[in-house]
């Protein structure tokens, strides 16, 4: 599970990853002792999560309960840093607090949460977290009547809200989560679920859903980036190459990606992180230069506290988790299966507006 650095790895990159992960622990609603370093008795809700946003100068979690849809997505930042060689036990405790918070809150069941539980079980040598992920996933799927019904509901809800670009993101994470569960619990049907999510998302890469050529769509780059994952899993090489070509063509001169082109005047932190994540999850070949430039832009955007703030000086822990995961995944060689058994969906051949709120 230790990532193998590629030729764009550097001491500065590793330092940035470790520093950013420490920042995530600083602002976590810690459960174990005083892991957040804000006092053994503190005002945060001790739920293991994060605030949706933090204002400039914030140093701790607020007293408000953490949103339920941030756990796996943000916690993956701590997991990524720890598995990439950041040796601080504090990061492991932060990841464990994330898992404990998920266990305490039955409503935590977003697409990244299941994969996070499986990976945390391996990191902590505690199979209970994988069992928790399996229990939550099975309950979510059963409540909707099966994987097809769950995928269709997500697709239709995003379509109704004008957010078709987020269908590949949502279902792409379900592909990864189902594949991770299949690795932890073989022959239980999770492999077939992963194929269902990929197939439905792949079919939605066209009108009336997500047009890969319409850069004005909200969260356009996230949609194009995650289209690579679902198309590769579905075996749709034409759609994969279309998405990869569009993603590389829309990278800005400074190495970043915008969210969509409607009001974009500068790069977007989360969109750039998603581009790095998904290039790594499909293949890094033929995109090494783009990955290096994207990683460099993210490094330059990090503040002295370890945080990444948007142009309005607002910090979003989920975005920071995305950035850390993107930076760590982008260091890995194609054959280094960092996200666990059967989750890499390699291609079969070589291959929100800039001011919008981060996606949930």
Evaluate whether the domain defined by 24-329 bears CATH number 1.50.10.20.
Answer: yes
Q: Tell me the HSE value of 249 on the side-chain side, using a 13 A CA sphere.
A: 11
Q: What is the CA radius of gyration of the chain?
A: 19
Phi/psi of residue 170, nearest 5 degrees: -60, -50
pLDDT of residue 358: 57
pTM, entire model:
0.91
Q: Would the CA dihedral through 44, 47, 52, 57 be positive or negative?
A: positive
For residues 91 and 77, give the distance between their C-alpha atoms in angstroms, rounded to a whole number.
10
Ordered by start, the domain boundaries in the chain are 24-329
pLDDT of residue 344: 38
For the cut 70, the answer to whether the pLDDT of residue 184 exceeds it is yes
Q: Would the CA dihedral through 104, 26, 65, 324 be positive or negative?
A: negative
pLDDT of residue 9: 52
Give the helix ranges, DSSP H, for the chain.
11-26, 71-83, 89-104, 111-124, 128-144, 147-160, 166-184, 190-203, 220-234, 237-249, 269-282, 288-301, 317-329
pLDDT of residue 2: 34
How large is the average pLDDT for residues 211-221? 95
User: Whose structure tokens read 């980036």?
Assistant: 225
């Amino acid at each position: 599970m230790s990532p193998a650095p590629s030729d764009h790895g550097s001491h500065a990159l590793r330092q940035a990853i470790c520093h950013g992960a420490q920042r995530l622990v600083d602002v976590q609603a810690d459960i174990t002792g005083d892991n957040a370093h804000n006092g053994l008795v503190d005002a945060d809700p001790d739920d293991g999560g994060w605030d949706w946003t933090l204002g400039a100068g914030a140093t701790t979690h607020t007293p408000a309960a953490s949103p339920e849809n941030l756990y796996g997505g943000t916690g993956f930042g701590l997991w990524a840093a720890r598995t990439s060689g950041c040796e601080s036990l504090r990061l492991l405790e932060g990841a464990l607090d994330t898992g404990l918070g998920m266990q305490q809150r039955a409503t935590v069941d977003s697409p990244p949460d299941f994969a996070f539980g499986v990976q945390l079980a391996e990191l902590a040598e505690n199979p209970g977290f994988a069992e928790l992920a399996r229990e939550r996933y099975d309950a979510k799927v059963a409540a909707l009547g099966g994987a097809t019904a769950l995928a269709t509901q997500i697709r239709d809800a995003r379509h109704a809200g004008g957010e078709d670009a987020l269908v590949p993101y949502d279902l792409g994470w379900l592909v990864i989560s189902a594949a991770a569960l299949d690795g932890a619990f073989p022959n239980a049907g999770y492999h077939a679920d992963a194929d269902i999510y990929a197939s439905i998302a792949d079919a939605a890469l066209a009108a009336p859903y997500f047009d890969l050529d319409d850069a004005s769509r909200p969260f356009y780059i996230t949609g194009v980036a995650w289209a690579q994952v679902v198309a590769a899993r579905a075996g749709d090489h034409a759609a994969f190459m279309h998405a990869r070509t569009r993603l590389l063509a829309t990278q800005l001169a400074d190495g970043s990606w915008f969210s969509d082109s409607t009001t974009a005047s500068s790069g977007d932190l989360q969109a750039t992180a998603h581009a790095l994540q998904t290039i790594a999850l499909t293949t890094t070949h033929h995109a090494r230069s783009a990955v290096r430039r994207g990683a460099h832009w993210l490094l330059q955007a990090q503040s002295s506290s370890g945080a990444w703030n948007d142009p309005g000086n607002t910090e979003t822990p989920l975005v920071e988790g995305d950035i850390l995961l993107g930076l760590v995944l982008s260091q890995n060689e194609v054959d280094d299966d960092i996200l666990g058994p059967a989750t890499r969906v390699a291609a079969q051949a070589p291959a929100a507006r800039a001011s919008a709120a981060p996606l949930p």
